Chains A and B, each alone.
Chain A
Amino acid sequence: MRPDEPGVHAPGSATEAGRGHDRPGPRAGADDRPGPSTDPTLNEAYRPMSSRGNSLPWKLLSLTLALALVVSLWTGHRGGQTDRTQGGLAGSISIGLKLPPGNLDIRNQSGTALDQLLIGNVYEGLVARDSDNKVIPGLAKDWEVSADGLEYTFHLNRGMRFSNGHPLDAADVVWSLRELMDRHYQGSEMLRNYRSIDQVGATTVRLRLTRPYQHLLWELSGRAGLVFDHRASYDMKTQAQGSGPYLVETFRPNDSVILKADPHYWGPRKAKTGTIRIRYLADDNAAVNALRSGDVQVLAPITANLAGPFRSDPSFHVQAGDDTDKFVLAMNGKGGATSDIRVRQAIRYAIDHKQLIASRGGADKALGGPIPPLDPGYEDLTGLFPHDPGRARRLLAQAGYGPGRPLRLRLTYANTYGAELGDQLRSQLKAVGIDLDIRMVEFSVWLQDVHANKDYDLSLVDHGESHDFYQWATPTYYYNYDSAKVRQLYDQAMDTVSRERSRDLLAKAARQVSEDAAADWLFNYRITTAWHQGLEGFPVNLNQSLLPLADLTYRKA
């Protein structure tokens, strides 16, 4: 109460103005009943308290909210149970993956997310591969290779069709391969020594090479061998029309994909589940919650450290699969300090791979060289550089580094791999006297600085591709590693027609690369997959690049 204050009283003006002058107030009896005030103008403004005009909006708002809550809870509970089931098998299954594709253009867009989603599900290749990374028949039911390894003759299945009804025949295969090579689509660089492809009959095509190429068939099981409908025209970035068991029904970039089974699929392995919803869960926490609440029936990958509770829960199944992912700590072969092999070797001795693997949950596998177990030429090279900080320090001292002249190196890597790895490397290298300066950047920046401009000391990337040893035989690759011996071994390995000989040569080359300490292979990342009991047919091996879903079924327990 501040009655003495001048200039504050504006009797009734605010309230009156707020209501509007022209609105009739509840005036009944205002004249004959004494008002609360002696001032008649105030009495006019006075309204009895019974009308609670002011609180009505609030009541309404809270009522609507409460109603919305109840309705949503109710419909939500019902909505969860509307999955149609056929003979005990669920009509639709949700799976949770991590890396989302930005578009569906498998001919131009890089990244294994597209391979994972489309190859074998929507698009099919001339040949396919199994879960052990071996080539199996695809659109071609069999093939012959000439003795000199220069001519491959593929015999296609009969009666094949695309999901749009167009028949799939040799003409489509030839067109697809020619387009690939002419337009430099993704995968074209993998078809080394390509010369020509020709149609021989309605169901036969012949691929010719200029020189033998040992990995040709395997490469044809990937993007290079995909067959597209040469008569169809659609926007490849938002749609996908192939010959596979599934159709893309809905695609939301970076979020989700819905696959529907193609009822007219030509092949024997028709999709067993009608609808598959794929959700891309970037946040590990959200992914785990989705699995636990049953929003997804299977999650791949699940961070191994988060899988613990699921392992001990009998209603879940957790399994780590083999994979070809190599976490490569690249050391710039032309870098200031890292061009010295003693520095590179010291770094390899300084890293405690077992500890790194333990901190990641223990699912991964130590890897001493560039070739992972699922690839030809694998050999256990972990013995070459055991964890030995003393030796690392000696090597550094020989190279001229020590307390008086500390070695500072910069590690540049993409932020998708998380800070933990960098922090641990810094700590382990610190123990031998190397100061690691860590620069985490976006993948696009990494591509520019490290991959394109080779401006780095150390770099960390998960090289997920299989059969990618050629990187070490390519001096212009960002490793800056150039060894005539390795190049020669690799070329021989590709030129030979004998698979065994090729394998031995690759193993030799890999040992050489590892001995040169061209990089350190921190570990072979093995994907951990977790699913609800009752789910069957989900690939565990290699499922980040190859995820055929035709056999997937789910029987609710």
Chain B
Amino acid sequence: MNPGEQGGRRLGSRPPLPGRLGFWGRTRVVLGSMWHRAAGRYSLIVLALWVLVSLVSRFWTPVSIWSTDGYQIWQTPSRGHLLGTDGTGADILSWLMAGSATNLVMSLLAVLLSAILGLGLVMAMVSPHAGISQTVVVLVDALISLPTVLLALILAVPLGPSMAVVIVACGFGYGLNLARIVRPQALLVAGSDYVQSARHSGVGAFRIFFTHLVPNIIPVLCVQLSMSAGTSVLAESGLTYLGVGVPSGLPSWGHSLTTSVKFINVFPLTVLWPGLVVTMVVVALNLFGDALRDAIDPVTNPELRAAVAGAGRAVPRSKGMDGPADSAGSAHSISRCGLTAHAECADRPGPADGDDQANGDNRSVRMDADHPGQGGRSCL
């Protein structure tokens, strides 16, 4: 993961005319090129399994999760119970399967919420009204230090432990984080010539935002959102352990982890499985974001470039990962060299310090400095 890359070199990689290849064709190419790398393949397999198991568990689990047997508690793995049984004699594998559905829904909703909140904030941040944008920037700066768990505790007081607490607490925190990370890039795009010209031609703010800005920040979004999904899985287990997460009776990985923790001294094996599942899925989500970013971006993904070129549009092929010629085909995209130019256009004439180069340097670092990066929310 490389925030600098998001912030700098891969900036503005608006893919050349997506319509040509079609959504499905594009998806196929992207998935294919993810598959060709080990990290991408791992994450695709784990995530596909996650979704599959979640779906299956709605209809079938090896043993009903509600069937208990007081005489068969804390059994070691056997043919009847592949991962053993828990403290009520219920099947651990079945609970983990059922839990995957809960966690999937929870992560999706948390990510959705954070995306909506984050994009909304970004939109306000790039607003041409300095009053709005600066207030929102400072607001985000002020609120971002509120920890997820504190919010969850406040919410859990009236709501009791529930999925909503986890979703809202995570969505809120990650949304702020997202806004903070995406902002520098969004600012650059917002100041670019084509956005300017679109604005002067009377295109509405919403339309500009969704047709020009969002496509440009998609790589960062991929990384951030998938990482948020991973963190929300971790947050769920932590919050459930603290008694403010998922209520008991609703299967989830955090629930499995929490119930088995007590008995680690006597039955250490039982706590192994939920922890393992959580770790595997979170690793997959973290890798998935990176892999998707690399694959979705024609600048870094030659396969996609080739496919687009093959689809009939004359895109000059290049062998290098990020040659300046890559994006020449698209009038919208900003080449690497162009980026600086755009950025400098965007920069208001600075105070007359006379040193243009130092000035430019200032800005490019500012841009990075504004996003605290992935370290911020990954420590549950």
A interface, CB within 8 angstroms of B: 5-10, 13, 283-285, 288-289, 292, 303, 305-306, 308-309, 352, 354-360, 415, 419-420, 422-424, 426-428, 430, 438, 440-442, 445
Contact = CB atoms under 8 A, between A and B. Distances in A.
B153 to A, nearest CB: 13
Interface string B62-79: 000011111101100000
Given A355-B69, A424-B89, 17 more contacts: A5-B340, A6-B340, A7-B360, A9-B361, A292-B265, A306-B265, A354-B70, A358-B71, A359-B88, A360-B70, A419-B248, A420-B87, A420-B259, A424-B70, A424-B88, A430-B67, A440-B248
Residue from B68, B73, B89, B360 having most chain A Cβ neighbours under 10 A: B68
Nearest to A442: B160
Contacts of A303: 262
A440 B247 contact: yes
B28 to A, nearest CB: 35
B66 A358 contact: no
B340 A309 contact: no
A134 to B, nearest CB: 34
A285 B264 contact: yes
B364 A8 contact: yes
10 contacts: A6-B360, A7-B364, A10-B361, A13-B361, A285-B261, A285-B263, A285-B265, A420-B87, A423-B90, A441-B160
A267 to B, nearest CB: 41
Contacts of B262: 283-285, 303, 306
A295 to B, nearest CB: 15
A426 B265 contact: no
A359 B89 contact: yes
A358 B266 contact: no
A305 B259 CA distance: 13
Nearest to A426: B66
B201 interface: no
B70 A356 contact: yes
A423 B364 contact: no
Interface in B242-274: 243, 247-249, 255, 259, 261-266
A7 B361 contact: yes
Contacts of B247: 440
Contact of B66 (A8, A415, A423): A423
A447 B69 CA distance: 31
B360 A359 contact: no
Contact of A305 (B87, B90, B356): B87
Interface in B325-369: 337, 340, 344, 356-358, 360-362, 364
B266 A419 contact: no
A441 B247 CA distance: 9
A7 B340 contact: yes
A127 to B, nearest CB: 39
A177 to B, nearest CB: 40
B219 to A, nearest CB: 21
Contacts of B73: 305, 358-359
The binding surface of chain A is classed by DSSP as helix
Contact of A427 (B67, B74, B243, B340): B67
Nearest to A357: B70
B259 to A, nearest CB: 6
Contacts of B344: 7
A438 B66 CA distance: 12
B248 A415 contact: yes
A8 B361 contact: yes
A305 B160 contact: no
A430 B66 contact: yes
Given A305-B266, A309-B266, A359-B89, A9 B70 contact: no
Max count, chain B CB within 10 A of own CB: residue among A8, A355, A427, A442: A427
A542 B89 CA distance: 30
Contacts of B74: 305
B299 to A, nearest CB: 16
A359 B70 contact: yes
B160 A445 contact: yes
Contacts of B364: 7-8
A306 B266 contact: yes
B255 to A, nearest CB: 8
Nearest to A361: B73
Contacts of A428: 68
B66 A427 contact: yes
B68 A427 contact: yes
Given A6-B340, A427-B67, A438-B248, A309 B265 contact: yes
Contact of B68 (A289, A357, A423, A440): A423
Nearest to A287: B262
A104 B87 CA distance: 35
A420 B73 CA distance: 11
B57 to A, nearest CB: 17
Contacts of B261: 285
A440 B249 contact: yes
Contacts of A423: 66, 68, 88, 90, 248-249
A8 B71 contact: no
A438 B249 contact: yes
Contact of A355 (B66, B70, B340): B70
Contacts of B264: 285
Nearest to B259: A419
Given A355-B69, A355-B71, A9 B357 contact: yes
Nearest to B69: A355
Nearest to B160: A441
Contact of A420 (B66, B71, B88, B358): B88
Contacts of B356: 7
B84 to A, nearest CB: 14
Contacts of A438: 248-249
Contacts of B248: 415, 419, 422-423, 438, 440
B142 to A, nearest CB: 28
Interface string B212-233: 0000000000000000000000
Nearest to A356: B70
Nearest to B262: A284
Nearest to B255: A419
Contacts of B340: 5-7
B164 to A, nearest CB: 16
A285 B260 CA distance: 10
Nearest to A7: B360
A426 B251 CA distance: 14
A470 to B, nearest CB: 32
A285 B247 CA distance: 21
B265 A13 contact: no
A302 B259 CA distance: 16
Contacts of B361: 7-10, 13
A359 B66 contact: no
Nearest to B67: A427
Question: Which are the 4 A-B pairs with shortest beta-carbon distances?
Answer: A7-B360, A359-B70, A355-B70, A419-B248
Interface in B9-43: none
A428 B88 CA distance: 11
Contacts of A359: 68, 70-71, 73, 87-89
A127 B243 CA distance: 42
